[in-house]
Amino acid sequence: MRIYNALVTRMNRPWRRWLKLIQDLSLDFAVLCFGIALVLAIVEGKFPPSSVSGWALLALVGVAMSHLLTLLLRGIYSLNPRYFALHDFTVLGFTATFPAALLAYIQYHIDLIGHPHAGITTLYVLYLCISTGLLAAVRVSYSRIQRVARRPDRTLAGKQTRTLIVGAGDAGELMLREIRLRRMGAVQVVGFVDDDVRKQSLRIHGIKVLGILEEIPEIAERLKVDEILITIPIASGDLMRRLVQLTSKTTARVKTLPGLSNLISDGNPLMPQLRDIELEDLLRRQPVPVDLNAISAYLHGERVMITGGGGSIGSELARQIAKMRPQAIILVGRGENSIYEIEQELKQTTNVIPEAHIADVRDKVAMAHIFAEYRPTVVFHAAAHKHVPLMQKSVSEAIHNNVIGTRNVAELSAQTGVKHFIQISTDKAVNPTSVMGATKRICELIVGALSRQTETRFAIVRFGNVLGSRGSLVPLLTAQIKRGGPVTITHQDMTRYFMTIPEAVQLVLQAGALGGNGETYILDMGDPVRIEDLAMDLIRLHGFLPGDDIAIHFTGIRPGEKLEEELIYEQESLAKTNHPKIRVIADQDVPSYAAIYDDIDRLVSACSELDSATIIQMLMDFARNRSLYPSLDPTQYIL
C-alpha cells in the first residue's frame, strides 16, 4: 500500500506541473498572437490588419510558437511570477530577439503588409517592445492578483500600522517590498523621508517621498504615524543622534536596521533585522577594515590562552578567535559563571571545544600548571580589575590582581616560549590619576621591559571605554532611567572615548598581527564623547525627554577621575601602521626589567605594612617616574 501511494504521488506531481505549463503556454500564445496582430496593424495603419494571407498567417503562428520555445529554453516558466522583477523583464526582452528577427525575415520574403521590403526594421523593433511588454504585463498582473487574493480583509484585520520609512535608498525600497509581501494588510506605508533633494516628491512603488528629515515630527503628527523605520545602514553616529532627537518628538515606535558592518545581507530579509535603536548606533563609525588573512596567520592552528576569558573583552576575543580555527582556546578566569557561559556558547556555536579553567592570575603556581599542561602559543591578557572608584578604595587588591597578575602571566609566557603576548591596556594608564590607571601603567612597563630580553613577541594595545561592558557607565545610566531617574553624572564637561566591544576586539586582534615586539598600539577611538550628551541620548532612546521626564544631577568628580582621558603621553609620538585604525608609539623609553621587578616587590611589601594613602603615593610615583629606587643589576632578572 505504501509503494502504491508513493507511485500515485509521483504520477500526480508531473501532471499538475504539466497542466500549469499548458495553461501558461496557452495564455502566452494568445498574448503573442495578439501582439503580432497589433504590430501589423500599427505598421499598416489599420486594425485588424486585412492584408495578411493564409500562408502568412501560418508563418505568423510559427513566429509565436518559436517565441514560446525560446521562453521554454530560457526557463521562464520555472520562475515564480509572484516575484517578477527587473532581471526577469530583461530576460523576457532577450527571448524576443529571435522571434522579432524571424518576423522581419518573413516580411522581407512574404510581404505581410502589402509593401514589399517596407517596415522591416519597424516590425522588428515593434515586436520586440510589444511582445516583451505584453508578456511582462501578464506576469505583473498575476503577481498583483496573487497579492490581492492573499491580503486579509482590512475590516477584519484590525487597525493598520501606519509606517514612515526614513531613507529612500535601496534599503528603503527593499523594506517597502518586504512589508507588502510579508505583512500584507497589517502595515500601511504612508511615505518616505530623505535628505537627498533629488528624491523629493519622487515615488517608490507608488509611495511618495514626503520631505526631509527635519520634517519628521510634522509628518508623523499630520499623518498619524504609528511606526518609524530607519533604513540607512550607512548612517553615521552623528546622523543617528540627529534622528533620535527628531523621532523623540513623536509618539511613534522607532526601529532601525543595524549598521553596515552588522547587517546580514546577501539576499537575507531585512524585516527580521529591524530592532530598537541602541546606544552603539549613536557612536556608529565606518566599518573597521580587518585583514583576516593576517589575523588568521598568527592564530590558525595555535593554542590560544585568554585570561579574563569570561569578561566583556575576553569573551568577545574567544568568539572572534574561534572563527580563525585555532588548535585550542584556553579560557582562564576567576568568575565561574561567566567562564561557564562563554564555554557553553563556544561549544554550541563553533567547532572549537574550549578548555575552561577557574584560576587566579595572582596564583603563579596555579597558572604555571595551566601553562605546563596546555603549552599556549598565543596569550591575550585581559584579566584585570577596571573600576576606578572601587580600586581607589582597594589599592592592595588592585596591585595584586593587576600588577602581580600581569607579571605572573607575562613571565610564564616568556619562560614557556609563547610566540605572541598581547596586553590589554587602557587610556587611564596615561598620566594616571587613579589607582586603577597607575596599575595598568605598571603593567605596560612590565610587558615593555620583558620584550627586550625574551623571544616572545610582546605587544600592548591601549584603548578607552567599551560600551556595554559589565559594570560600565551605560548599564548604570540605563538602570537609573528605568527607575525613573534621576540620572547622575559627575561633571557636565566630562568626556570619554568609547568603542563597541566587537570593534575594540577586532582591532586588538589586528594589532597582534602587526608583528612588532614591545610596541604599544593605540586604537582609533574617534572623537571623545561628552558624558552628559551620552546620558541625554540614552534618555531619548528610552522614550523620555531629558530634563522634563528624567532629571540629570551632577554629583562632582570622584577620587581618581579626570575630566578628559588621554591616549598618549606628551613625550610620546605616534607613527602609522599598515592599518588605518591603529597607530604605534614610536621611540618608547622602557626601563630595565630588574628595576621594575624590584619596585614591584617593594610595592607589594608596602601593602602589608603601610597605610593606603602611603601605598597610593608610592604607586603613583612608580607609575609616573618609572622607578622608586636605583636600578639593580639588569642581568639579575633575565629569564
Task: Return the H-helix or E-strand segment holding 177.
Answer: helix 170-178
Q: Would you state the pLDDT for residue 636?
A: 39
Question: CB 634: neighbour CB atoms within 10 A?
Answer: 15
For 388, counting Cβ atoms within 10 Å of its Cβ (0-12 exposed, 13-18 middle, 19+ buried), the class is: buried
- Grid cell 622608586 — which residue? 628
Q: What are phi and psi of 618, to 5 degrees?
A: -60, -45
In this predicted structure, what is the pLDDT of residue 355? 94
Main-chain dihedrals φ then ψ at residue 275, nearest 5 degrees: -155, 170
pLDDT at site 627: 44
Cβ–Cβ < 8 Å for 591, 631: yes
Query: Per residue in 406-415, pLDDT tens?
Result: 999 999 999 9
Domain ranges, ordered by start, for the chain = 13-150, 156-282, 292-625
Place of cell 520562475: 79
How far apart are alpha carbons 596 and 465 in whole angstroms?
Answer: 27
More confident residue, 21 or 492: 492
353 pLDDT more than 50: yes
**Burial of 459: CB neighbours in 10 Å, binned 0-12, 13-18, 19+:** buried
Is 100's pLDDT higher than 80? no
Mean pLDDT across 514-531: 83
What pLDDT shows up at residue 283? 72
CA dihedral sign of residues 334, 336, 341, 344: positive
Query: Could you give the CA distance from residue 553 to residue 80 in angstroms, rounded to a whole number?
Result: 60
The pLDDT of residue 111 is: 62
- 473 has pLDDT over 90: no
- CB count, 10 Å around CB of 638? 13
Q: Considering only residues 288 and 35, tell me which one the structure prediction assigns the higher pLDDT.
A: 35
- Whole-number mean pLDDT of the chain? 81
pLDDT score, position 72: 78
Is pLDDT larger for residue 576 or for residue 379? 379
Half-sphere exposure of 617 (CA within 13 A, CB side): 5
pLDDT higher than 50, residue 637: no
- Kindly tell me if the per-residue pLDDT of 245 is higher than 60: yes
pLDDT of residue 343: 94
pLDDT at residue 6, rounded to an integer: 42
CA distance 500 to 469: 9
Over residues 533-558, mean pLDDT: 86
513 Cβ contact partners less than 8 Å away, ≥ 6 residues apart: 291, 294, 295, 297, 298
209 Cβ contact list (under 8 Å, min separation 6) = 168, 191, 192, 193, 194, 199, 200, 201, 202, 203
Task: Please state, in angstroms and as integers, the Cα–Cα distance from residue 91 to each residue in 22, 70, 121, 544, following that order.
Answer: 21, 11, 22, 52
Taking the C-alpha atoms of residue 295 and residue 334, their distance in angstroms, rounded to an integer, is 28
Place of cell 622607578: 627
The predicted structure's pLDDT at residue 594: 84
Give SS3 for 15. Answer: helix
Q: Residue 184 — pLDDT band, cuts 50, 70, 90?
A: low
519 bridge partner residues = 459
Convert the pLDDT of each residue in 45-76 to its tens digit: 655 555 555 556 676 777 778 888 887 777 77
- pLDDT single digits (tens) 264-287: 555 566 777 777 777 777 776 665
Confidence of residue 314 (pLDDT cuts 50, 70, 90): very high
What's residue 222's pLDDT? 92
Question: Percent of the chain scored above 90 by pLDDT?
Answer: 28
Residues whose CB is less than 8 angstroms from the CB of residue 183 and which lie 6 or more positions away in sequence, other chains included: 271
In words, the CATH class of domain 292-625 is: alpha beta
Neighbours of 10 (CB within 10 A): 9
Amino acid 635: pLDDT:
39
Residue 407 has a pLDDT of 96
Instruction: Report pLDDT for 87.
Output: 67
Q: Per mean pLDDT, which of 141-150, 351-360, 463-472 is the most reliable?
A: 351-360
Does residue 259 have a pLDDT over 70?
A: no
Query: Which residue type does 500 have?
Result: T
- Separation of alpha carbons 621 and 425, rounded Å: 19
pLDDT value at position 158?
55
Which residues on adjacent β-strands are paired with residue 498?
Answer: 465
Is pLDDT of 585 > 90?
no
Q: Give the lowest-confidence range in 40-49, 109-118, 121-130, 225-234.
A: 109-118
Percent share of the chain, pLDDT over 70: 81
CA pair distance 549, 478, nearest whole angstrom: 14
Supply φ then ψ for residue 495, to 5 degrees: -125, 155
User: Could you tell me if 194 and 203 are in contact, meaning their C-beta atoms sit under 8 angstroms apart?
Assistant: no
- For residue 214, pLDDT beyond 60: yes
Residue 143: pLDDT band (50, 70, 90) is low
Task: Categorize the per-residue pLDDT at 83 as very low, low, confident or very high, splitting at 50, 70 and 90.
Answer: low
CATH superfamily assigned to domain 156-282: NAD(P)-binding Rossmann-like Domain (3.40.50.720)
Give the pLDDT band of residue 145 (cuts 50, 70, 90).
low
Q: Are domains 156-282 and 292-625 of this chain identical in fold? A: yes
Q: What is the DSSP letter of 214?
A: G
- Model confidence at 639: pLDDT above 60: no
622: left (phi over 0), alpha (psi -120 to 50) or beta: alpha
Check pLDDT > 80 for residue 110: no
Band of residue 11 on the pLDDT scale cut at 50, 70, 90: very low
* pTM across the whole model: 0.69
Residues 6+ apart with CB under 8 A from 578: 514
Output the pLDDT for position 8: 46
Q: What pLDDT score does 185 carry?
A: 62
Q: What is the pLDDT of residue 374?
A: 94
Look at residue 13 and tell me whether its pLDDT is greater than 60: no
Give the Cα separation of 256 and 259 in Å (integer): 9
CA separation (Å) from 317 to 242, 333, 342, 506? 32, 14, 11, 8
More confident residue, 604 or 634: 604
pLDDT at 155: 45
The pLDDT confidence band at residue 7, using thresholds 50, 70 and 90, is: very low
